[in-house]
Every structure is written in structure tokens, then in C-alpha cells.
């Protein structure tokens, strides 16, 4: 079968690191870590595994980071144990075509999403599990890398088939369409983000970024606390329109006037010091940063009120220079989010997300804007990287009708 994956061979990584100084498009070159080609169709490695035929899979920012190897060697994730080959695509919708004899959570014919992507105590069947996995925070596994996973060539969302341990799939409710279901995993991320600091009635909320995660975070915040006031920062007009359709009370433009707009939205004092050093006294009660780069986090820390909270959901593997003085000066609470987990309510992020989507409390019409067959993965990546031109929100790889 054809698959899109990343080969973490050191020589390939170094070659691309040097080549990117000439052109980022060399990430598609034959010497680069990103690979597209024939691999063996995966088989069940044991009785606790299932095989899934993929229908479609969303393209995520993390897939882009891996494709271009945008990973600073000095970052925390670069030192964390991983896998030698990373099959891309985790926002998948697929159908179970084979199930091991010890699988009882799903059955052949069920539609499933992937709940756990990275190796953890669950797939490794580690007993006892680490503290974080025991608490349901599988993305924070402390045993990752202690021993190799049972199977490396699992396939992913960007291949025709994928195999999963019985702990990984989430059964998709029958009422959800595939277009809703492909947004289940990112909606689970938004749920985990909002529940890290749930807004109170009347609180002013800011979401920085109006890509898939940002838009869904705004919608989930309004769904879980309808009486909060949600503002979104959007770079493009098409994002602003979608944010309004998904429940944002106000949309702020990502430009030089952002701080003045934020002051107007919150009643804060706008202050401009020397050399264009802009701050707010007062501001939003909680800021969800769905972008996660130095600039967005800098803005988040300056747009939140004293004693407020910043939730960092966006990711970058290339941290730079950050002014963290607002953390102590304004006593700002900062908390990070890594995908999804078991929430404090005792429900999984996925279960809450599925409920919100099934009840149309979170409406996602218009979110899927582009579809590409797997063979056109380069066009999909190019559309993602040039959203101003493509007007892309959620891009999916569509595997088409089932084939024998």
C-alpha cells in the first residue's frame, strides 16, 4: 500500500536541515526524511489489535512540522524518546476490517477515530502503568522509549490501512457524518484546552488563532459556558467569517491595532511605552493560544488581565526568544495542553467532543474546505502552507470508496 511517513534517519534529517537554507521545498526531495511510497500492508501483531481501512484523514499542523522537520535540536520534544518511523495522519476516520480475539470495545464494521497516537503504556501494555497513563493522560507517558513498541510499521491516516492496539480507537457515534467525524480529534483537543481553564459566566475569553483548533476552541468555549464572551484573533477575512458562524461574539484583526481592539473589547487600559512596547492593564480573563509561537504567546501574556490564565494549545518545535515578565509581573497562570486526555469530570476529551458534535452544539459546517487524494499530498501541504491564497481551514486526504 502507499503511505506517507517520516524516516528519522539522522543523515536525512541533517541533509534537510542544510537544504532548507536554500528552499523549504527540498523537504520533498528524495534525500529528505519525508517519504511517500509502497510499504507492506500492516497485519495484526496480536489478539489485542485491530486493523482499520481509512476513509479520510485531516491534515494537522503537527504533520506539517514533521514533514519539514521544523524541530529545533535544543527543544524538549527533540530529546524525548520517539519512534524510528513516524506514519503521518492521526485525524482519521476509518472502518474496522479485522479485530483480534481479545478486542471487545469495537467490532468489524464500526467506524473509529484514533484516540492515542504516540506510544504509551497502553500500547506497550506496561503493568503497572506510569502515573500519567494511570490518570488517563496518555500523551504524557513517562515510560515512552523504555522498550520498542510491538509494531513499528502500523500505517497511519495517510495510508490505506492502519493497525491499532485496542486502547487506541474511539468508536464514532452513528449519527455523525464522516465530515463531522474527521473533526472529532481536533474537537477533542479543543475540549481539553477549554477544560484546562473553563470560563465562568460573564468572563471575557480570547482565542488567538482562527485555524482549525482556534475555531473549535471558540465553539467549545461557548458550548460549555454560553454566558462567556468570546473574541477571536483572525489573520484572514475568511477565518473571521467562519469564527462568527461558529459563535464568536467578536473578531479581532491580527494587525498593529490588535492591542487597541483588545482594550476596547475588555475595557482595559491600553498603554504604549518606549519603542512601541504595548501592554494592557486589565484584559481578558482567559486567553487560549492556538498558534503557539513566540509572537502569539507574547501577545497572550500581554492581553490577559492580572491574575488571569493563558492556556497554550498551539505547538512549535522551534522556540525562540520570549518575554515572560508578565507571568510574574501580572501573576498570570500559564498551563499547557498536549492533545487530549481523561478530563476531571471522569469523561474523555473524545467522549465530550462526540457529544457536542452529535447534538450540534458545536457546528462544523464549512470547516472542511479542501479534499485531496493521497497521491496529491504535496498539493495538500502547499494549500496548508499558503492559507491566504488557498483559503483553507481543514484539509483532508480522502481515500475514496472502499477497495478490496
pLDDT in tens, 1-11: 999 999 998 89
User: Which domains, ranges and CATH numbers included, belong to the chain?
Assistant: 2-183+367-398 (3.90.180.10), 186-336 (3.40.50.720)
What is the residue-wise DSSP string for 318-373?
Answer: -------HHHHHTT-EEEE--S--B-TTSSBHHHHHHHHHHTTSS--TT-EEEEE-
Judged against a pLDDT cut of 70, whether residue 86 lies above it is answered with: yes
Judged against a pLDDT cut of 70, whether residue 167 lies above it is answered with: yes
Can you give the pLDDT at residue 402? Answer: 57
3-state SS class at 171: strand
Judged against a pLDDT cut of 70, whether residue 404 lies above it is answered with: no
Query: What residues pair up with 372 in beta bridges, in sequence order?
Result: 397
Q: What is the percentage of the chain residues whose pLDDT exceeds 90?
A: 87
Can you give the pLDDT at residue 72? Answer: 87
Query: What residues pair up with 87 in beta bridges, in sequence order?
Result: 5
* Mean pLDDT lowest among 151-155, 159-163, 366-370: 151-155
Peptide bond into 215 cis (omega under 30): no
Give the whole-angstrom CA distance, residue 88 versus residue 107.
24
Contact 311, 289 (CB under 8 A): yes
Mean pLDDT of all residues in 270-294: 96
Helices 184-196, 212-224: axis angle to 10 degrees equals: 60
C-alpha cell at position 60 = 494537522
Give the whole-angstrom CA distance, residue 96 versus residue 163.
9
C-alpha cell at position 289 = 493560544
pLDDT band at 125 (very low <50, low <70, confident <90, very high): very high
pTM above 0.85, yes or no: yes
Task: Return the closest-CA partner of residue 91 out of 179, 17, 165, 174.
Answer: 179
pLDDT band at 344 (very low <50, low <70, confident <90, very high): very high
CB atoms under 10 Å from CB of 50, counted, come to 25
Can you give the pLDDT at residue 148? Answer: 85
Give the whole-angstrom CA distance, residue 183 versus residue 191.
12
* Mean pLDDT lowest among 76-90, 170-184, 202-216, 257-271: 76-90
Instruction: Give, in order, the Cα–Cα distances in Å from 362 to each of 58, 223, 226, 345, 392.
Output: 18, 7, 12, 19, 20
Judged against a pLDDT cut of 80, whether residue 364 lies above it is answered with: yes
pLDDT in tens, 299-343: 999 999 999 999 999 998 888 889 999 999 999 999 999 999 999
What is the overall mean pLDDT for the chain? 95
Give the whole-angstrom CA distance, residue 61 versus residue 140.
19
Contact 12, 33 (CB under 8 A): yes
Give the whole-angstrom CA distance, residue 335 versus residue 349.
17
pLDDT, greater one: 72 or 169: 169
Mean pLDDT of all residues in 342-365: 96
Amino acid at each position: 500500500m502507499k503511505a506517507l511517513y517520516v524516516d528519522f534517519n539522522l543523515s536525512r534529517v541533517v541533509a534537510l536541515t542544510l537544504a532548507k537554507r536554500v528552499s523549504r521545498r527540498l523537504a520533498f526531495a528524495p534525500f529528505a526524511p519525508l517519504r511517500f511510497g509502497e510499504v507492506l500492508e500492516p497485519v495484526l501483531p496480536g489478539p489485542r489489535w485491530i486493523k482499520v481501512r481509512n476513509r479520510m484523514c485531516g491534515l494537522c499542523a503537527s504533520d506539517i512540522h514533521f514533514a519539514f522537520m521544523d524541530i529545533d535540536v535544543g527543544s524538549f520534544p527533540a530529546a524525548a524518546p520517539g519512534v524510528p518511523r513516524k506514519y503521518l495522519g492521526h485525524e482519521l476516520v476509518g472502518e474496522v476490517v479485522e479485530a483480534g480475539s481479545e478486542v471487545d470495545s469495537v467490532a468489524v464494521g464500526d467506524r473509529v477515530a484514533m484516540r492515542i497516537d504516540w506510544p504509551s503504556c497502553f500500547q506497550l501494555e506496561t503493568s503497572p502503568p506510569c502515573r500519567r497513563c494511570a490518570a488517563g493522560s496518555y500523551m504524557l507517558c513517562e515510560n515512552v522509549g523504555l522498550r520498542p513498541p510491538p509494531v513499528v510499521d502500523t500505517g497511519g491516516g495517510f495510508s490505506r490501512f492502519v493497525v491499532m492496539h485496542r486502547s487506541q480507537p474511539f468508536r464514532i457515534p452513528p449519527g455523525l457524518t464522516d465530515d463531522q467525524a474527521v473533526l472529532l480529534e481536533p474537537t477533542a483537543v479543543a475540549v481539553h484546552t477549554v477544560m484546562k481553564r473553563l470560563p465562568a459566566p460573564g468572563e471575557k475569553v480570547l482565542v488567538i488563532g482562527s485555524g482549525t483548533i482556534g475555531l473549535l476552541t471558540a465553539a467549545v468555549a461557548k458550548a460549555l459556558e454560553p454566558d462567556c464572551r468570546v473574541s477571536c484573533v483572525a489573520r484572514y477575512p475568511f477565518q473571521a467569517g467562519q469564527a462568527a458562524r461558529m459563535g464568536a461574539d467578536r473578531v479581532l484583526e491580527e494587525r498593529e491595532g490588535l492591542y487597541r481592539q483588545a482594550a476596547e473589547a475588555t475595557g482595559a487600559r491600553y498603554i504604549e511605552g518606549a519603542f512601541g512596547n504595548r501592554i494592557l492593564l486589565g484584559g481578558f480573563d482567559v486567553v487560549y493560544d492556538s498558534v503557539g509561537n513566540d509572537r502569539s504567546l507574547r501577545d497572550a501574556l500581554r492581553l490577559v488581565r492580572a491574575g488571569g490564565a493563558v492556556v497554550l494549545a498551539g505547538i512549535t518545535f522551534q522556540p525562540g526568544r520570549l518575554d515572560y515578565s508578565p507571568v510574574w509581573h501580572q501573576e498570570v497562570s500559564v498551563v499547557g495542553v498536549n492533545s487530549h486526555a481523561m478530563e476531571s469530570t471522569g469523561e474523555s476529551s473524545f467522549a465530550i467532543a462526540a457529544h457536542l458534535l452529535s447534538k450540534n452544539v458545536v457546528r462544523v459546517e464549512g470547516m472542511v474546505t479542501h479534499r485531496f487524494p493521497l497521491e496529491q499530498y504535496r498539493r495538500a501541504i502547499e494549500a496548508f502552507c499558503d492559507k491566504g491564497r488557498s483559503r483553507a481551514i481543514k484539509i483532508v486526504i480522502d481515500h475514496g470508496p472502499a477497495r478490496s
